[in-house]
Structure formats: C-alpha cells, structure tokens
Amino acid sequence: MSMTQRLGAEFFGTFWLVLGGCGSAVLAAAFPDVGIGFTGVALAFGLTVVTMAYGVGHISGAHFNPAVTFGLWAGGRFPAREIAPYWAAQVAGAIVAAGVLYVIASGKMGFDVSAGFASNGYAEHSPGQYSLIAALVCEVVMTFFFLLVILGSTDKRAPAGFAPLAIGLALALIHLISIPVTNTSVNPARSTGPALFVGGWAIAQLWLFWLAPLAGAAIGGFVYRWLGANGK
C-alpha cells in the first residue's frame, strides 16, 4: 500500500473512533429517560476499533491513535520516520470527526459545548473530580496495558484473526475503568478533536492527554519487546 492510502485509512479509522465513541457520549449517554450510560459509551469505543480494524487494518495497521503508533515504534514494530505522518492523519481525522459531531449535536435546542463535549479532564473537569495525579497514573497505566494487548494479539505467535476483537474489548474495558477518572483518553488524537471545540480548560489540560498516553505506550512497547522475546 502507498503511504497516501495508509494515511487515508488512519484518517478514516480515527474519524470513526471519535465520531462513534465521542458521539455516543455526547448524543446517547444521557438521552432523556433511556440513555446508554458509561457502559454503552465504553462498548461504543470498543466497537469502533473492532469494526475499523477489520475494515482497514490490512491497509494501515489500524493504529487510529498517536499513542499506539508510538508504542509500536517502541516495540520495534514501526519505523520512526513514519510516526509524524501517521500522527498528522490521526489528529486530522479526530478534528474533522469532532466537527461533524458538533454540527449534529448543535442541532438540538439547548446544546452547550462548554458542558464538555466528551473532552478529557482532571480535577474539576474530571467526571468524578479525580486529581491530576490520579488522572496521570490512570492514563499511563491504561495505555500501557492497551499496548501490551495490541502487541501481544498481533504477535505472529498469537491466534490469527482475533487481534481486532482483543484490542476492541481491551479498549471497552479501559473505558469501563477510567471514564469516571478522565473521561478516558489513552489516545491523544481523540482528546485533541473535542478539546479544540470546547476551548479554554479543555485545551489547557490537553497536555496531560498527550504526555500520559505517549508515556504509557512507550513503556508498554519496551516491556513487550522484552517480554515477547523475538516475536514479531
């Protein structure tokens, strides 16, 4: 596949992740009388990864996340020279998806983007009012284990064809654990898209949702590189 095709797959995959995951949070989580709640949002994020990993994973590798790209590099699975183009495609996909979601959500009377718009946050902007340190630890640890699952399930010694399911289920589980803490990032692109529309506090706190996932992903990549010995 050409680089253009691979970047296109990353753009659309990340777009779907943000529209599906953040869209479920903004449009359906607390829908009057019957909403999908945290569980439904967690499942939605997992389903976006499963569906697009099967849909375009054979084109780009189905990263859809700057932290995953970085972790795959740390794990010896991805060349450093391709990190920046992948990041650009992923962030662009997330921003465009957030824009589409904004257009849809603003069609409802009373919509207020300052209410959060599925942005990630800590302290007073954490769903459960968790501190900066709690948010940092949570995001690092969740991304670390996400990379272990990704690297392990895509190892040539793992059962073939099941990686998207394992990765999607891992992402759903991560959301079930950490939505109350940070609204769950583990993905800098996913955090960037909504934050640009919320502005203010969301942009001011965005640094954490780049730093922590990238750190957790790097640790996960290096650990699996040791743990998995010579598996590729």
The per-residue pLDDT for 105 is 94
Is residue 215 helix, strand or coil? helix
Closest CA to 141 of 192, 78, 184, 197: 184
CA dihedral 47, 21, 212, 114 (to 10 degrees): -170
The per-residue pLDDT for 115 is 82
Q: Which residues of the chain have pLDDT under 50?
A: none
Residue range 3-227 in CATH 1.20.1080.10? yes
The per-residue pLDDT for 114 is 83
Q: How far apart are CA 188 and CA 205, in angstroms?
A: 12
The per-residue pLDDT for 181 is 97
The per-residue pLDDT for 129 is 96
Domain range list for the chain:
3-227
Are 184 and 65 spatial neighbours (Cβ–Cβ below 8 Å)?
no
Block residue for tokens 């990032």: 185
Q: Compute the mean pLDDT over every residue in the chain, rounded to the nearest whole number.
A: 94
Closest CA to 189 of 67, 81, 56: 67
- What length is written for the chain? 232
Q: How far apart are CA 41 and CA 48, in angstroms?
A: 11
Closest CA to 132 of 141, 123, 140, 124: 123
The per-residue pLDDT for 1 is 86
